[in-house]
A and B are shown apart, each in its own frame.
Chain A
Amino acid sequence: MSANPSTQGQAETGARPFSLRLSARDLLRVAIFAVIFIVATYVIGMLGIISPLVWLLIVPLQAIVGGVTVLLFLTRVRHAGMLTLFGVVVAMFYLVGGNTLLSSTGIVGLGLVAELILWAGRYRSKWAMIWAYTVFGLSFFTPFLPLLVDRTAYLASSNFTDMGKAYVHASDTLLSVPVISLLACIVLASSFLGGVFGSAILGKHFVRAGLA
């Protein structure tokens, strides 16, 4: 190790202040972390199928797993635009694997906003990283976006009224704007916690293991 890695890091960023020229290695880095992000959150999602008891935990847990992945990724960001690229490729993948156009656009937008936050923190601020992930973590809410925008079209089926009063009532309460907004708040809180937790995991594991 060089005697003083921090000065060397600054010298590096000073010479090329986060230019937009992504090297091949940057691209492969985005790719591996995007895949880890997708696979890790998918595995957590599958836990829900195995035991419905944990359904309520899934979205917060996904936000936490995502937080660990994204925060480790952010420590390896060397050029501007890497988080935006991350958002775009994750959104593209979800679009292929079943997601609404609206949700995927949402993820791209969140990636951009997160990149701006990161930029404001000069790409090295811990809290900027946490807030950037908090914003990006809202991507776990994007699958519910369409329900907010066009809920009747999604759920009103022709035999809707045959299903009885209980059904209509349940759908009215469950998918009302306040309930969905509450869900959004839960996701937001979870992704903030995910960011904080991810940052803690960085210190507890990856820094000590020499991986961050």
Chain B
Amino acid sequence: MIHIEHVTWTYPHAETPSLRNLDLHVRSGEFVVLCGASGSGKSTALRLMNGLIPHFHDEGSLVGTVTVDGIATPGAELDEIGLGTGTVLQHPRRQFFTETAREEIAFAMENFGFPPPEIHTRVDDLISQIAVHVPVEQPLQRLSGGQQQQVAIAAATAHRPRILLLDEPSSSLSADAVERLTATLAQVKAEGVTIVVAEHRLRYLQGLADRIIVMRDGAMSTQWSAGTFRSLPDDVLAREGLRGDIRTAELPSLPATGGSVAQPSPGDQIRSAALELEGIRCRLGGRVVLDIERVSIAAGEVTALRGANGAGKSTLARIITGLQRSAGTVRLDGKALSRQARQRVSAIVMQDVQRQLFTDRVDAEIGLAGAGAGQVDESETVLRALDLDHLATRHPLSLSGGQQQRLVVATVRVSNRRIVIFDEPSSGVDRRHLRSISDQIRRIAASGAVVVLISHDEDLLHLAADRQLTLAPHQAS
């Protein structure tokens, strides 16, 4: 079904190849898991199978042959490859083209010119399958990560491709969402579809996979049959840089009251702390999106902000940092601060850090951030501490995702902010760097800042957070 022969691939502007003389064959109907540490080439191999390599990377260099369902992909048109393959990229939210599940599922069939009656039948069929777990009339962007994943798989398989490719589908899912993912994949497999999954968590697939391929440095390093894999203990996996099961982070709850708090606690449990919010209410587009009566967040520790999409996590972060107008008071060290004053003492490490890199050199970026705080001298120390000193003259946008994030953390440190928010810091970054991210977060908290961590990543929360505040979507009353 899929034949990759002697393939060496180098991304444009990269110095070393990401795949080296890779030989990989997948039989029809087979379920193959590609795993390996970050940078091992598993996602790259997947992109080779759906043709995004080489078609989406001009001036990269490809040697070798790739045949997918009888099509030589390097010379084919992308839609021709797409007709025979379904792809689910890592972040379903970023790949939806339409606003509702129905439209999204119909999208590929419409573009491929399926007759409308057939589209209707197929969409109705798939919608009724996912409707058990997914509120199908809701806008897609408001669904939880697991629900979005269900829609993305339905949308990728609606045109009945014979191959389904998934890139780290479990990466931001809760434990029960992973169970549903397993069930969905089992059903797709039962329909005879060939499935290839690039993944770093493995145990949830062990009942389904026919073959597990471990990749290292752009080539195949080990292969396990389903039987061998089931008998492997988790520490063998760990040695390959792989993870078995999903950890759930159990954190003590922060006492809080208000309509947006998932489990409000009695008001007398709320002690005073460095950052206190009172009577916070925010309306956006005529809808109450956040209502927090009282909560206190301590300095020196990391508070996880959890909750479904649309529960108001980002809105709360924007209110705390003074970017969003709202009713109520925000006090820092007992003093009520205006929005402008909050902006001056706060920082956000955004999900996509490209948004907050403003200069043309790493050291200039630190200099710009330090200028306001009057501590330019410190910049070299900070750069060294974050292992960025050898990159000082590089352009910030030319760094890898993890390095960019460390650079933003460095700017936060030299500008000495009291309130620091991390927004999904592990989403665009190699898993290998999870511990380094959590160290960054811990260190900023240790310097006495109020640190809030917004994340769905159980592994990261487990490593980096001390307590949690869980929000729930505000019910209109």
A residues within 8 Å of B by Cβ? Answer: 1-2, 5, 8-9, 23-25, 78, 204-206, 208-211
| Contact yes or no, B360 A208, CB < 8 A | yes
Q: What's the nearest-Cβ distance from chain A to residue B85, in Å?
A: 16
Q: Which of B319-373 contact A (CB under 8 A)?
A: 360
| Contact yes or no, A209 B59, CB < 8 A | no
B residues within 8 Å of A by Cβ? Answer: 10, 12-15, 55-56, 58-61, 77-79, 360, 394-398
Question: What residue in chain A is nearest B397 (Cβ atoms)?
Answer: A209
**Of the residues B59, B79, B398, contact of A5 by C-beta under 8 Å:** B59
| Contact yes or no, A208 B398, CB < 8 A | yes
Complex alpha-carbon distance, A205 and B78, angstroms: 31
| Contact yes or no, A1 B15, CB < 8 A | yes
| Contact yes or no, B59 A1, CB < 8 A | yes
| Contact yes or no, A2 B395, CB < 8 A | no
With A205-B360, A209-B395 as known contacts, state yes or no: A8 contacts B79, CB within 8 Å: no
What is the predominant secondary structure among interface residues of chain B facing chain A?
Answer: loop
Q: What's the nearest-Cβ distance from chain A to residue B108, in Å?
A: 13
Complex alpha-carbon distance, A141 and B13, angstroms: 39
Listed A/B pairs (23) with beta-carbon separation below 8 Å = A1-B13, A1-B60, A1-B61, A2-B59, A5-B12, A5-B59, A9-B59, A24-B79, A25-B55, A25-B56, A204-B360, A205-B360, A205-B395, A205-B397, A208-B395, A208-B397, A208-B398, A209-B397, A210-B12, A210-B13, A210-B397, A210-B398, A211-B397
Complex alpha-carbon distance, A23 and B58, angstroms: 13
Q: What's the nearest-Cβ distance from chain A to residue B158, in Å?
A: 19
Question: What residue in chain B is nearest A209 (Cβ atoms)?
Answer: B397
With A1-B10, A1-B59, A24-B78 as known contacts, state yes or no: A209 contacts B15, CB within 8 Å: no
Complex alpha-carbon distance, A25 and B394, angstroms: 30
Question: What residue in chain A is nearest B61 (Cβ atoms)?
Answer: A2
Complex alpha-carbon distance, A136 and B15, angstroms: 38
Q: What's the nearest-Cβ distance from chain A to residue B446, in Å?
A: 33
Residues of chain A within 8 A of B60, CB atoms compared: 1
| Contact yes or no, B56 A209, CB < 8 A | no
Complex alpha-carbon distance, A25 and B82, angstroms: 14
Question: What residue in chain B is nearest A208 (Cβ atoms)?
Answer: B395
Residues of chain A within 8 A of B79, CB atoms compared: 24
Q: What's the nearest-Cβ distance from chain B to residue A13, in Å?
A: 12
State the 3 A-B residue pairs at the shortest beta-carbon distance, nearest first. A209-B397, A208-B395, A210-B13
List 9 additional contacts besides A1-B60, A205-B397; criterion CB under 8 Å: A25-B55, A206-B397, A208-B360, A208-B397, A208-B398, A209-B396, A209-B398, A210-B12, A210-B13
Q: What's the nearest-Cβ distance from chain A to residue B299, in Å?
A: 34
Q: What's the nearest-Cβ distance from chain B to residue A114, in Å?
A: 23
Residues of chain A within 8 A of B10, CB atoms compared: 1-2
Residues of chain A within 8 A of B360, CB atoms compared: 204-205, 208
Complex alpha-carbon distance, A45 and B450, angstroms: 37
